[in-house]
């Protein structure tokens, strides 16, 4: 029964890999090109692209394979998965220009790679209950490795935004008090403070330039970043704009609050340090000290007992 399950797993993995390769090689675009090339007087060079070989190899060969894999994953995923991945990619800043198709394909490739590794280990080392149990755990867990990677990117980017927010608000306040408008002050901030927060402000300014209202662009910024401090700042700016309150005063108060929150966060992290040190002390340092202090006494006691027993 186990041999049958192993053969089925190997067959399914190989069949899925062959399907992806064939789907990439015999895609609709390739089939149409081959059909049109049979016609003598038909010019197909400009139908898809002026110079097909000028397209990078990754886009010509790998991306169709990614597209097929992503469609396969979407069939077995809930409907809200795509929107969730889009939101998380936006929070992470779209690393390496990754979209939903590439991310879903990456998840499936991780699972396939883990499956191949497990199959090779089972074939080479033979079947063992422990290895089979580990394979049952490792293969499904490998499917979620890209999610952990994306989550770490989101948390790191949000941390950078929190740290840069207070200084950015200070520069924004100074620029507005010097006579610049809000959009011009944001442009100055974008030029002088590179980083994730400046990138988000730059995207917000581009949205305003193409016709999106400032309030809507600011709300989109809050949704993309999902940082509580930045969301509170944006809510204050929108409320001040609606009520006609001076933005300079609002920015000054917000900058002071951001600086206070950053100091409180640092104090909170410092107060957690003694608690986090307890476990390394108990597991690593205390055993060594115990051996150094008690070890010689134990050796002497054992030597005395052995001598008495020998006599």
pLDDT tens digits for range 231-285: 888 888 888 878 877 777 788 888 788 788 878 888 888 888 888 888 888 888 8
Mean pLDDT of 295-309: 79
* Residues whose CB falls within 8 Å of the CB of residue 221, separated by 6 or more in sequence, listed in order: 200, 201, 203, 204, 230, 234
User: Can you list the alpha helix ranges (DSSP code H) found in 26-99?
Assistant: 28-37, 45-48, 57, 63-75, 81-91
Q: Are 189 and 201 in contact (CB under 8 A)?
A: yes
CATH number at residue 240: 1.20.81
Residues 232 and 200 in one domain: yes
Whole-number pLDDT of residue 25: 45
The lowest-confidence range among 43-47, 53-57, 107-111, 242-246 is 43-47
Whether residue 304 is contained in a domain is answered as: no
pLDDT tier at 152 (50, 70, 90 boundaries)?
very high
User: Is the model's pTM score more than 0.95?
Assistant: no
| pLDDT > 70? residue 95 | yes
- Which structural domain range is residue 60 located in? 2-143
Whether residue 298 is contained in a domain is answered as: no
Per-residue pLDDT of 10-35, as tens digits, reads 555 655 555 554 454 445 554 555 55
Per-residue pLDDT of 120-146, as tens digits, reads 877 777 777 777 787 788 888 888 888
Whether residue 170 is contained in a domain is answered as: yes
Residues 85 and 189 in one domain: no
pLDDT tier at 292 (50, 70, 90 boundaries)?
confident
Give residue for tokens 């409907």: 79
What is the rounded distance in angstroms from the CA atom of residue 77 to the CA atom of residue 101? 13
Give residue for tokens 């929107």: 83
């Amino acid at each position: 029964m186990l041999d049958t399950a192993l053969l089925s797993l190997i067959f399914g993995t190989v069949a899925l890999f062959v399907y992806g390769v064939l789907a990439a090689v015999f895609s609709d675009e390739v089939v149409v090109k081959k059909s049109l090339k049979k016609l003598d007087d038909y010019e197909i060079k400009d139908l898809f692209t002026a110079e097909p070989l000028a397209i990078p190899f990754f886009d010509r060969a790998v991306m169709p394979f990614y597209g097929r894999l992503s469609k396969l994953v979407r069939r077995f995923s809930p409907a809200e998965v795509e929107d969730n991945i889009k939101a998380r990619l936006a929070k992470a800043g779209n690393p390496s220009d990754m979209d939903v198709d590439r991310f879903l394909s990456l998840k499936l490739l991780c699972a396939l790679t883990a499956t191949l590794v497990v199959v090779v280990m089972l074939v080479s080392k033979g079947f063992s209950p422990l290895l089979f149990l580990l394979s049952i755990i490792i293969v499904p867990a490998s499917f979620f490795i890209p999610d952990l990677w994306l989550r770490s990117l989101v948390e790191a980017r949000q941390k950078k935004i929190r740290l840069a927010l207070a200084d950015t608000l200070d520069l924004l306040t100074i620029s507005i008090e010097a006579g610049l408008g809000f959009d011009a002050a944001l442009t100055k901030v974008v030029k002088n403070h590179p980083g994730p927060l400046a990138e988000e402000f730059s995207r917000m300014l581009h949205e305003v330039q193409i016709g999106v209202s400032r309030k809507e662009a600011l709300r989109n910024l809050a949704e993309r970043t999902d940082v509580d401090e930045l969301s509170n700042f944006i809510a204050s700016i929108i409320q001040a704009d609606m009520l006609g309150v001076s933005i300079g005063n609002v920015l000054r108060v917000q900058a002071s609050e951001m600086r206070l929150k950053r100091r409180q966060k640092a104090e909170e992290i410092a107060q957690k340090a003694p608690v986090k040190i307890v476990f390394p002390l108990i597991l690593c340092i205390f055993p060594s000290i115990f051996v150094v202090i008690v070890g010689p006494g134990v050796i002497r006691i054992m030597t005395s007992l052995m001598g008495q027993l020998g006599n």
